[in-house]
C-alpha cells in the first residue's frame, strides 16, 4: 500500500486525502504535504482509512519504495493532480 492515496474514514480529518508513506503493525503513516508533512506524518490505524486503489502516482510510489528523498511539495502536487485537495 505504500505510495497509494488513502482517505480518512474517521477522526477530525474525516474525508481528507493522504499519501501512505509507511505501514507498520496495523498502522499507516500518512502525509498530505501541508499539515502532515513527511518529517511529521500522521499515524492512523488501518481500519480508519480507505485506500484509493485505482488512483496512485507511479513515480511517487517508486521513489517512496526506493527510499529516495521526497519533498512535501511533491506530495501536495500528487494529491492535487489526482483530485484530492
Written as tens digits, the pLDDT of the chain (85 aa) is: 888 899 999 889 999 999 999 999 999 999 999 999 999 999 999 999 999 877 677 788 888 888 888 899 999 988 888 766 5
pLDDT of residue 40: 96
DSSP-derived secondary structure for 12-80: TTTT-EEEEEEEETTEEEEE-SSSS-SSSPEEEEGGGEEEEEEEE-HHHHHHHHTT----HHHHHHHHH
> How many residues are listed for the chain in this entry?
85
Q: C-alpha 50: how far from its chain's center?
A: 11
pLDDT of residue 33: 93
Q: How far is CA 82 from CA 5, 25, 59, in A?
A: 9, 28, 13
**Model pTM score:** 0.87
Amino acid at each position: 500500500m505504500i505510495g497509494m492515496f488513502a482517505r480518512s474514514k474517521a477522526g477530525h480529518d474525516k474525508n481528507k486525502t493522504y499519501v501512505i508513506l509507511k505501514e507498520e503493525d496495523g498502522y499507516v503513516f500518512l502525509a498530505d504535504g501541508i499539515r502532515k508533512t513527511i518529517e511529521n506524518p500522521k499515524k492512523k490505524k488501518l481500519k480508519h482509512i480507505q485506500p484509493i486503489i485505482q488512483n496512485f502516482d507511479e513515480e511517487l510510489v517508486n521513489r517512496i519504495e526506493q527510499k529516495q528523498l521526497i519533498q512535501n511539495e511533491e506530495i501536495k502536487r500528487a494529491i492535487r493532480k489526482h483530485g484530492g485537495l
